[in-house]
Each structure stands twice: as C-alpha cells, then as structure tokens.
Chains A and B, each alone.
Chain A
C-alpha cells in the first residue's frame, strides 16, 4: 500500500504534555487514503480529526508513527515543503492582498514566473467562478465568496492533496448545501485527493467517497457512506450517524429477546447483544401485525412524522413514517410494529 495511496498514516499518535498532564489527542491511527478520493474524517469536536489533518499538513508533528505522501515519508518535512494545501476553517485569507494576489501567493512563493502565476490564477478563479472579484480585497467579499477564495488559493498550486478543515461551518444552511455540491464538482474536475474534516454527518454522507469516523483520538470505522450508515460497527458510530433505536436484549436460538416474551427474529448470535434499528426501517400497521405497541408521542415534521412507540414489556422505539393524507395513528392508539430482520444491525457489546 504505497503508490496508489495519496496519504498513508502509520500508527500515528499525538500526545500533548507529559506525565500526569499528558493528553492523548490521537491514539494509534492507521489509515490509507487513495489517490483521487474524497475522504472525510467525521467525528464530534475534540475527537482528534483536526489534529490528524494538521499532522498531514505539517503543523503538528506526530509523537509516534509516520505519515507517507505518495509512498514518501514526510513526517518530519515542514509544511512549506509539502505538496499539500489547506483550506482553513477561518479561511485565513491575507487581508492586505487582493483576491488574485491571495490565489497566486503559493505559486509566487514557489518562485513561479509572473506569466505562470497569472495563468494559474485566471484558471482557478474561473473554476470557482470568482473572475469579476480578482482585484477586490477579502474584506470586500461575502462569507461565501471568501470561502471560494480560500478554496481557489489552496487549489492554485495544484497540490497532491487538498485538506479542508470544516470549511463550510461558517456558512448558512442554503449556501452550505450549494457549496457541498460545488466541492464535489471541483474534486471530480481536478482529480485532486480531498481530505475533508467535519462534524456534520449529513455533509459527510453527501460528499464523500469514503468516511473515517473518529472518537476520542481513535478511528472507529472506515467505509463508504452506505457502509457507515447501514453497517455501523459499534454503538458510537450508529448513534453519531443518523438516528438509531438501540434495543438491549438476550440472543437465543429463535432470535433476540428484547423484553419478556418479545422476540425479534434475528438469529445467529448468543448472549447479551445490542440491536440497532434506523427509525425509517420500522413499519406501523394495525394492531396484531408484528409487535404490539402503543403510541406515546407523535411529532409531525412536515415530510414525515416521528412516532415514539412503547413496545409491550417497556422498551421505547422511534419510528419515522412518511406523512400521507388520511388518518394517522394518534397518541394512545394501539398499533402493530414490524421490523425487517435484515435491517437490524447487531452490535457487539
């Protein structure tokens, strides 16, 4: 695993401080990011995803392990000698330079000729549709435009890898959605490897080829959005990505007993297990179909309605049902809940 991989982290650890005050920001991270991939590091704040990104950029030096770029060990190489560029969360645009000068900065520092710089700046500004703003100062641009300048600036030197540190977090929802599409387009057009850091699971699911889910300095699962969503390896991943019902139970030969006498037909396991079921996988029918339940709460959300259901024997689950015309179950109604065994994920305890 070297040449076909853009970035490889080998057993990377990062510890701040020493002795009793030591804080482990990164445990023992190993990851291989393929060339031309849109890879997302996803996790809550403080999980170490930004630290890992900064290790790749060269702003942090791992305490242990190595980072390879196209098979070359760059662990000790300073950031200004790595063919890697960053889009900063705060954009970090140079306030005293125009948009064109900001975008051309990296090429100028690399000692490129003026003609080369001008051509590259024109091309990249075209890519992010900012040609009319070339002579403006960053302070004269909107947040969304500044974001694109930051993107253009990082793309202009044609890095092997582009690092994006929560670049969309300062934008409003509508702009963020538009930029998600835009980023994906840019990545496809340029073919550059993107490593994207976010705490927004929806953003991660929308754009990524693969996602690495992190928590407390550890990498929990790496996989396609589909794998991450449908087959979470543990309770944290299942809980962090989307909404999930967790049901504790005892695995028996005929299925998992989640309450006295209530058995879900999930077989092949033994002992105590946790079952994870997405709310949209539950179906509500008339009483008698599937498990017995009573509607405890119904929240109308527009396109769908969330029902909190109390199953016989106590456990509560949330079901998401697409809204439709006609009568819907109301609080206190007795209903039947059916769960497709194939949609149930069994998590190891």
Chain B
C-alpha cells in the first residue's frame, strides 16, 4: 500500500517561493526586452519592425561609438591592471601576519570607495583634477585611468585577500625549509596559489571600470566619452535601438567575464 503524501518541508515559508519567482521575472523581463529590441529592424525602441542586426552595424559604424569603445577598453585595461597590482601587494601586506598597528586604518582606506557615495567622490575628483588640468595643461586619459584605478582597488583586493586567507601558511614554511629564499617562496609557492584570486580580482576591477558612469562623467575632458557616458548623452536625443545594441554588447561582455570569474573561483573546490 503506497500512499502519496505531501512531505513536511521545513524550508518552506508561506508565499516565499511565489515572491522569489516573481522577483526573478521582474529582474529579467526588462533586460530581456532590451536585448530583444536591440535586434529590431525598425527605428523605434518599442515598435517591433522585424529581426535585424542593423543597429549593431549602425553602432559599429558610428565613429563616436568606436572612439568611446576604444577609450572604455584602454581605461578598463589600464585601471584594472594598476588596481590589481597595488591590491595584490596590499593584500599580501594585510593578511596572514596577525594584527598590526594601523591595519584597521588600511582596511578603511582601501574600502573607502565602497563607502563614500560615488557622486561625492565624483565631485571631489572634479574639483581636484580641474585645478590640476589648469595648472599642468595636461588633459589626457590619465585622469580617468587614475580615478578608475582608485575605485577598482577594493574590488580587486577582496577576492585576493579571500584567497590569501584560505591559504595554508605551512606551505611557505615548507618552502623555506626546503631552502627557498623569501623571493623564491613568493615566486614558486605563494604567487601560483594566489593566481586565481588575482585573476578574479582583475576581472571584477575590469567590469567595474567598464561600467562606471558617474565618476567618468565628472572627470572626463571634452571628447573623452566612454561607452556608458556616450549612452547617457544619447538620452537627450531621440532614443534609437542603437543604445540597445551597445547595451546588449556590454551585457554580453559582462556575462562572459562573470562566467569566467565563477569558473575560476569555483575551481579550487
């Protein structure tokens, strides 16, 4: 005699599953709509005119978009490179050596970009860099690279630190026991183990830099639009699916990088 009975599931709370599914639908419906309309053959962001890649071609052929894309890429690569390098050093300096004086101050300093509202930092950088621009006459991409590198530091730092904290200290002791110099220990033991954390940190920094709007908007000099600020500028004109096409391309890039990030960070298990 087999009776089908509903099992008593302790993890179920009233209405929770329904709300959760609704939340996922609400979260994805706008993004999916945006992506679908990037393939719109018509000229409108809300009237469907058949499937077409014309807006991707339009965006790719637009010199302003090309320039913005190149700038976004240069800034993101340089800024994430700088941020990852200094964050790796800082992570090595602040983990696995016990508590030391000023450690909290360093933490606060490194995580500062996560705490201060971005608009405040943007305003501060506007004031600071505009006086330097006047004083030096230099108006290149350097300001944007430095500004991006600074707010990318905590995003690079956190995964590297997490990796370091999960690392077995005795491995370095073992290396030292086997005649390795401190540099050799770092080069052949610490760094290879740390590498997934470093790559993960660099990826997050890259995505964060690529996505930034506010600080870029305030720091950029004339003609220094990145993709996000270009899109923000398009708002003043009639929106065309070109914005959807650029958004979809950026979205795809983000998803690819994130997938790689998850694969890298999960490999250790």
Contact = CB atoms under 8 A, between A and B. Distances in A.
Is this pair of chains taken from one and the same complex? Answer: yes
Interface of A: 11, 58-65, 75-76, 78-79
A65 B1 CA distance: 8
Interface of B: 1-3, 5-8, 10
Residue from B1, B7, B8 with most neighbouring chain A CB atoms (10 Å): B8
A58 B1 contact: no
B1 to A, nearest CB: 6
B8 A61 contact: yes
Contacts of A60: 7-8
A78 B2 CA distance: 19
Nearest to B2: A64
Contact of A61 (B1, B2, B6): B6
A125 B8 CA distance: 31
A59 B3 contact: no
Nearest to B5: A61
A64 B3 contact: yes
Contact of A64 (B1, B7, B10): B1
B8 A58 contact: yes
Contacts of A75: 5
22 contacts: A11-B1, A58-B8, A59-B8, A59-B10, A60-B7, A60-B8, A61-B5, A61-B6, A61-B7, A61-B8, A62-B5, A63-B2, A63-B3, A63-B5, A64-B1, A64-B2, A64-B3, A65-B1, A75-B5, A76-B5, A78-B8, A79-B8
A14 B103 CA distance: 56
Contacts of A79: 8
A76 B3 CA distance: 11
Contacts of A64: 1-3
Contacts of A58: 8
B167 to A, nearest CB: 28
Contacts of B7: 60-61
A65 to B, nearest CB: 8
Contacts of B5: 61-63, 75-76
Nearest to B3: A64
Nearest to B8: A78
A76 B8 CA distance: 9
The 5 closest A-B pairs by CB, nearest first: A61-B5, A61-B7, A64-B2, A78-B8, A64-B1
Contacts of B1: 11, 64-65
Contacts of B8: 58-61, 78-79
A79 B10 CA distance: 10
Contacts of B2: 63-64
